[in-house]
Amino acid sequence: MRRLTAALAAAITLLGLTASAAQAAPGGPSNPVSASFADTFADPVIVRGDDGFYYGYGTSDPLREGEKVAHRIPMARSTDLKNWTYVGDAFGDLPPFAAANASLWAPDVRKIGNRWVLYATVTETTTAPGASAIGVATAPKPTGPWTWAAEPAVPPRAAPGGGWFWTFDPAQLSTPDGKKYLYYGSYFGGIWVSELTADGLRITGTATRVAVDNKFEGAYVVRRAGYYYLFASSANCCAGPTTGYSVSVGRSRSPLGPFTDRDGLPLDASRAGGTPVIAPNGNRWVGTGHNGLITDKRGQDWFVYHAIDRNDPYLDEPFGINERPMLIDRLDWAGGWPTVNRGAWASDGRDARPARTPAPGRLLFADEFRDEKAGWSWVREDPAATVSGGALNWPVQGADLTSTSNSAGVLLRTPPAGSWIAETKLTLPLGEDVVRNYQQAGLIAYAGDDLFARLSAVAIWNTRQVEFGKEMPYADALSYGGTIAGTPGLTTTWLRLAHRVDPVNGEHEYRAGVSRDGKRWTWGGVWTLPADSTPRVGLVAHGGAEPAVTASFDYLRFYKW
């Protein structure tokens, strides 16, 4: 299928349409594409060889359940992006600077000159305990034989406050002027870019940070129509059935940035932006992240990533290595911005049910907090929460809901039947001058202390984010994970939870919406709660009492969806 026409792209942008079902494009792959040779094939990247074959590379893991040894960068081959065959491991050894216990993660492969170059995260080096680096190897063909360079492309990097920056997730870029760059980094330290030497084997010059720490990792950069697009993954990669990994994007006229999202928000800021490209959509796939991109012979872009089947999240159940097979979906460009499957996101032929982008209809109910909290009920009442001045004012509690803590108050009411959108206007002056881990406030769909979906503006170290988190029981334990839904305002953020009952399995689906002005909305990922649960909806304000901050909710409104 060809790229969207300008008229169709404009229609999608204006109407907020997505595909009625997240199915693979006609003639496209059927997910997971790695099933024929692997149960897990994480952090995938694909290149097209000179022989016309496509070659895929993944993080070092056992390929199948029951295997006890990790494959050191497994490789696969395909003629059509649909049918894949395992062709061996790139390495039998580690690079000379690697510690004996090192793993090899997140490969990136490119052709530079007349040879192929492979970059990979080396998790432990001999330089110092805990120091990672980017190793580099070369080969005459995409399948090798691969020969390690004696020195890393990116050596370990000392952090100013002690320890070592996470030097993970390499991604190489060649620009029209012949220069070569390498992007690397992760949550501890952020994402950086450095120019490479002409042979691509080591970085040179001064590094530039292009994405903030504590939010982004897994960079991948492509050039389109005069812009450089930085794709980056956020949230937790590996929380089993509640993995919220997702991908967002910013763009720049320069490979060195600054990268900004569709709303003009920079990626290298405390309140970092990021236009959503993919997030969990309510089908079986969660943890949709760490992407590459491959363009087929017809010019169609395909988005290459891993995900987790929430019904089968681990190798060697009930716990163990997160099972992250490789998925491929069409990447569309609408109004100059990329999105997977026209916004429907991960495809799955057996479970393809995403809804259209939520839009509020008539008002069903509103509490403007002009009097006492009639119609509300408490789980662990907090007498400090009071109604005054047309708002519910709630000092953030030094408490939490995750794991077994279950100490935070939850203020709830019964939602309307059917499909609806709950909205609140939240003022939470978190500032940026002090660490406030993990002070937060927002909306919650609550079926119990260990079964909920929480949408909140939150302080995460130096960043201010909007997290949509879920907790659920799994295999006699608790699983919690979050997806990043958007960017909070300086003090005031509007939040929405859009609810519908899945027409196939009866699950409650909740999609997160975020706005900085109450007018323009960013819609993030979806979490589900079981069909046999009866969730109520309400407000929370917790995570830490010091330094003091009060959350003010102007209203809670329910609209018809």
Each of the 561 residues of the chain gets a pLDDT tens digit; together they read 333 333 333 333 333 333 333 444 445 689 999 999 999 999 999 999 999 999 999 999 999 999 999 999 999 999 999 999 999 999 999 999 999 999 999 999 999 999 999 999 999 999 888 999 999 999 999 999 999 999 999 999 999 999 999 999 999 999 999 999 999 999 999 999 999 999 999 999 999 999 999 999 999 999 999 999 999 999 999 999 999 999 999 999 999 999 999 999 999 999 999 999 999 999 999 999 999 999 999 999 999 999 999 999 999 999 999 999 999 999 999 999 999 999 999 999 765 456 678 999 999 999 999 987 779 999 999 999 999 999 999 999 999 999 999 999 999 999 999 999 999 999 999 999 899 999 999 999 999 999 999 999 999 999 999 999 999 999 999 999 999 999 999 999 999 999 999 999 999 999 999 999 999 999 999 999 999 999 999 999 999 999 999 999 999 999 999
CB 267 within 8 A of CB 260: yes
- Residue-level pLDDT at 355: 60
Amino acid, single-letter form, for residue 317: E
Cβ(18)–Cβ(354) under 8 Å?
yes
What is the C-alpha to C-alpha distance for residues 375 and 394, in angstroms, rounded to an integer?
18
DSSP strand pairing (74-78 vs 54-57): antiparallel
Report domain extents, the chain.
6-343, 363-560
Q: At residue 414, what are phi and psi to the nearest 5 degrees?
A: -80, 125
> What CATH number has the domain spanning 6-343?
2.115.10.20
pLDDT at 19: 35
Fold agreement between 6-343 and 363-560: no
Would you tell me how many other CB atoms lie within 10 Å of the CB of residue 477?
10
- Cβ 317 vs Cβ 475: under 8 Å: yes
Residues linked to residue 338 through DSSP beta bridges, in sequence order: 333
- Each residue's pLDDT tens digit, 347-405: 997 654 566 789 999 999 999 999 877 799 999 999 999 999 999 999 999 999 999 99
DSSP E strands in 23-140: the ranges are 45-48, 54-57, 74-78, 84-89, 104-112, 115-122, 133-139
pLDDT of residue 171: 99
Tell me which CATH code domain 363-560 carries. Answer: 2.60.120.200
Element (DSSP H or E) covering residue 12? helix 6-15
What is the SS3 assignment for 258-307?
CCECCCCCECCCCCCCCEEEECCCCCCEEEEEEEEEEECCCCCEEEEEEE
Which pTM value belongs to this model? 0.95
Give phi and psi for 15, each to the nearest 5.
-90, -10
